[in-house]
Amino acid sequence: MQFDAQLIETLRGARHVAVLTGAGVSAESKIPTFRDAMTGLWARYRPEELATPQAFAANPKLVWDWYQWRRGLVEAAAPNEGQKALARLADLVPRLTLITQNVDSLHQRAGSPEVVELHGNISRTKCAREGRIVASWPDTDQVPPPCPHCGAHLRPDVVWFGESLPPEALRQAADAARRCDVFFSIGTSALVQPAASLIYETMRRGGMTVELNPGETPQSDEVTHSLRGPSGVILPALLHAAWPEA
Ligand code: NAD
């Protein structure tokens, strides 16, 4: 696989690399992206209709059950070659900030040392009223289970459409986008804000921006380099091209 010489040179010389990932980096681990059609029982729903506070208020059991199904997929999944390559990248550059919109912990399971989670984590549960993280609750037939502290519904600790992002994670992500030499946007449709706008912080300063996606996104024509293909194939090849000795 051939890469642009300047991309390789800039990557090798970079002091700080920022990487934003989306659902596409987990697609090769068989976790469906939001743009994939859902299958089986869930085929008649659109994720955008379930991943909202309004959906949870209207039908908490439906939303809880959907997340239980997705938790099952995540638990059965294994990190793929793209996620493993990103874990190796942390040892190859002086500083890497890995920012993810994913909630599946696959970067951590692949060995990435630090991950900025913009949209929470599906394996955590919190109280829908008070927001406190709840690690366990008594056995119950109620769905969703009630918070053991206040009795409100429990919900997954993820950011739903229309909700604010965790401020500290967003601060770290924006800071990295403002300081990095190279910003990668990998496996994201670049439609969900504010994550999709981070790359413009790097662009404004004239930093190198690289998109990696099998398809086109609204940013494909704006980035310095657009790499087309699955991240599980392109990322290992890119690392090999930049650090053949590693
Ligand atoms: P998205 O579903 O909107 O877009 C996925 C993108 O990945 C598409 O542009 C697609 O072309 C690309 N893609 C598909 N296969 C790929 C591959 N093998 N390699 C690289 N790219 C590939 O996802 P989004 O932009 O992340 O936004 C949707 C929201 O839903 C986000 O908040 C996201 O975190 C969340 N979500 C998370 C998960 C997860 O944690 N795994 C799964 C689904 C949705």
User: Which amino acid residue places its CA nearest to atom 21 of ligand 1?
Assistant: 187
Residue 168 — left, alpha, or beta (φ > 0 → left; ψ -120 to 50 → alpha)?
alpha
pLDDT band at 246 (very low <50, low <70, confident <90, very high): confident
> 112 CA to middle of ligand 1, Å?
19
DSSP states of 80-149: -HHHHHHHHHHHHSSEEEEEE---S-HHHHHT-S-EEESSEEEEEEEETTT--B-------S-SSPBPTT
| CA separation for the pair 175, 168 (Å, rounded) | 10
Which is the closest atom of ligand 1 to the Cα of 26? 41
User: Which amino acid residue places its CA nearest to atom 7 of ligand 1?
Assistant: 24
Does residue 62 have a pLDDT over 70?
A: yes
pLDDT number for residue 74:
95
Which is the closest atom of ligand 1 to the Cα of 103? 40
Domains of the chain with bracketed CATH: 1-31+79-119+159-246 (3.40.50.1220), 34-76+130-155 (3.30.1600.10)
Pick 16 or 48 by higher pLDDT. Answer: 16
Length of the chain: 246
Tens digit of each residue's pLDDT (9 = 90 or more) over 179-224: 999 999 999 999 999 999 999 999 999 999 999 999 999 999 999 9
Say if strands 154-158 and 120-127 run parallel, antiparallel, or are unpaired: antiparallel
Instruction: Verify whether residue 119 is a known catalytic residue.
Output: yes
Does residue 9 have a pLDDT over 70?
A: yes
Strand partners, 184: 19, 210
User: Which amino acid residue places its CA nearest to atom 3 of ligand 1?
Assistant: 189
Which is the closest atom of ligand 1 to the Cα of 70? 42
Tens digit of each residue's pLDDT (9 = 90 or more) over 71-130: 999 999 999 999 999 999 999 999 999 999 999 999 999 999 999 999 999 999 999 999
Give mean pLDDT, residues 141-151: 97
User: Which amino acid residue places its CA nearest to atom 28 of ligand 1?
Assistant: 34
Does residue 49 have a pLDDT over 90?
A: no
Percent of the chain with pLDDT over 70: 99
pLDDT band at 36 (very low <50, low <70, confident <90, very high): confident
- What average pLDDT is seen over the chain? 96
> Please, are residues 27 and 186 in contact by the beta-carbon 8 Å criterion?
no
pLDDT number for residue 191:
92
User: What is the value of pTM for the model shown?
Assistant: 0.96
Ligand 1, CB within 6 Å, residue ranges = 22-28, 31, 33-35, 101-104, 119, 187-189, 191-192, 213-215, 217, 230-231
> 33 CA to middle of ligand 1, Å?
4
pLDDT band at 161 (very low <50, low <70, confident <90, very high): very high
Phi, psi torsion values for 94, nearest 5 degrees: -60, -40
Q: Which amino acid is at 181?
A: D
Q: Which amino acid is at 91?
A: D
- Out of 26, 33, 50, mutate this one to test ligand 1's pocket (max ligand atoms within 8 Å of CB): namely 33
Which is the closest atom of ligand 1 to the Cα of 36? 2
Give mean pLDDT, residues 155-162: 96
pLDDT number for residue 37:
59
User: Which amino acid residue places its CA nearest to atom 23 of ligand 1?
Assistant: 23
